[in-house]
């Protein structure tokens, strides 16, 4: 689907800024942070402000067009891949690679290629207690 259609579909007005920010997150596979998005797009959008990047990723995230992952070094990385998938974070070069998991053989897939120090699996949602207390 075209980016413009994706934005319209969730009720977000497809301004050129928003399209370019989404497109960048979608096209690059390296899970960029706000700085990377800002610096890269600044070249083609000279008036772009970092605040707009923050606003836009927040907007895109709110409308579930992208996902945000908190990294160990306290920065957010953004990802347009909405499929449930794992990430491999290299302690040496910092690269974040997608790990397409089959749920069942999660560990196997990665262990074969990389040296795993730690596995972090987090589910976000609403707990049963909070669901009933609404």
| DSSP code string of 63-83 | TTSSEEEE-TTS-EEEE---S
The site map against DNA for 68-107 (x = CB under 7 A) is ------xxx-------------------------------
| Region binding a second copy by CB under 8 A among candidate stretches 6-14, 17-25, 51-59, 87-95 | 87-95
The position carrying tokens 């449930």 is: 84
Q: Could you tell me whether strands 96-99 and 76-79 are parallel, antiparallel, or unpaired per DSSP bridges? A: unpaired
Q: From the CB of 92, what's the least distance to DNA, in Å?
A: 18
Q: Taking each helix axis as running N to C, give the angle between helix 50-62 and helix 34-42, from 0 to 180 degrees, rounded to the nearest 10.
A: 120
Pull the structure tokens for residue 61: 């995230």
Nearer to a second copy, 16 or 120 (CB): 120
Q: Point out which residues bind DNA (CB under 7 A).
A: 12-13, 15-18, 33-35, 45, 47-52, 54-56, 58, 74-76
């Amino acid at each position: 689907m075209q980016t413009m259609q994706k934005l319209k579909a969730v009720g977000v007005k497809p301004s050129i800024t928003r399209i370019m920010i989404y497109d960048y997150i979608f096209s690059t596979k390296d899970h960029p942070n706000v700085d990377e998005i800002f610096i890269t797009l600044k070249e083609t959008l000279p008036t772009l402000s970092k605040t707009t990047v923050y606003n836009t990723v927040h907007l895109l995230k709110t409308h579930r067009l992208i996902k945000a992952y908190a990294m160990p070094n306290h920065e957010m990385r953004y990802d347009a891949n909405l499929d449930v998938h794992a990430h491999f974070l290299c302690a040496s070069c910092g690269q974040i690679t997608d790990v397409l998991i089959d749920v069942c053989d999660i560990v196997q897939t990665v262990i074969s290629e990389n040296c795993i120090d730690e596995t972090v699996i987090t589910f976000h949602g609403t707990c049963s207690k909070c669901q009933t207390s609404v």
